[in-house]
Structure 1
């Protein structure tokens, strides 16, 4: 009770006399408690709180009471996780959860397509090589997924699509927008993407066929006659490319 009276003065500016009168205790009793020398228990609690603070800060604020308890017991402290949790709460220490980013790419059972850009994500002229991907964006209203198509020559975003679900509809809409942005003439463009199921879907294969793109995911077997932007290097095993069947005319970036 004395600690509660002391906290009212510190946290809410309530005089000790008022708190003692409200609780029906003697003010002299409270003053005696306040002025007494610290006990061995108080001293241990202060040292324990300091040790908890050090382990917590050394962890970057990510350790909770179980992991801090393990550290302290290795140092020779005899303390329970519940006591540590109580002291952490009194001091305002709360473990920060490390967010692990989850990739949207899900490896499928289909064989990987050849990497036609050979990990050279540049191009000497416009519309030789495009790159596409899908990104997860966290918002206050939930997750939002963004699919994009970028020209590797100018790094210009030619097409994009957003939606509440990461599915083939987004990558199809992004590629359609990119093709329309270039006037519908995208023959010979190499389209490079990850190995996500959206890029290996039948819907994506159909839109590639519409714009005269051969989808390697669909197993068309058609090769590109467009040279790669850089000399060949060992192929990637974690990506795929799609290509059209003729060399593109140079168009403005």
Structure 2
């Protein structure tokens, strides 16, 4: 009887020039890491919500909807998963900015803190909770128009605060920023919050809330975030 018939594995490893240990590792794939398991779970959640919303929700909206279910995920991660699967949100004209400028608002003291040393736009941060931005959008639902205010951490790119209502009064954006504060997403030493110059963000009530909570407001030119 030939050696290969008696020791088939040894013979095969010899011919392929691999060790027996390598062969057995290939035969029994390693268990997935915790990171891989977590990514697979997030992937499944993102695809599930994308399909449930019939492709009409983008990365920001999916991150918000998942957060409401208790699933924490950065908007950048949602975007990566969507791109990896070749999925894109269907653009809806009903999802757009709604803020308008109040010409009588006192904003002379509010500077643009989203600039680097060369005066260029800089929406980055190395420390979570120190630099954030927010906006108001609205969308059509089966029950009518729904207004959504969001707060995004510029370090993690996560939606750390949000508020939804059938109105777009100042309380809408205060509630969104209060959520970020209550969940520990505002630096205790002070945070910078950037927005456009919409009337809600320049209102006296919102300015008072920011001052009372150690938040420094930041605003760029009219019509832009920075």
Q: Which has the larger radius of gyration?
A: 1
TM-score, with length taken from structure 2:
0.49
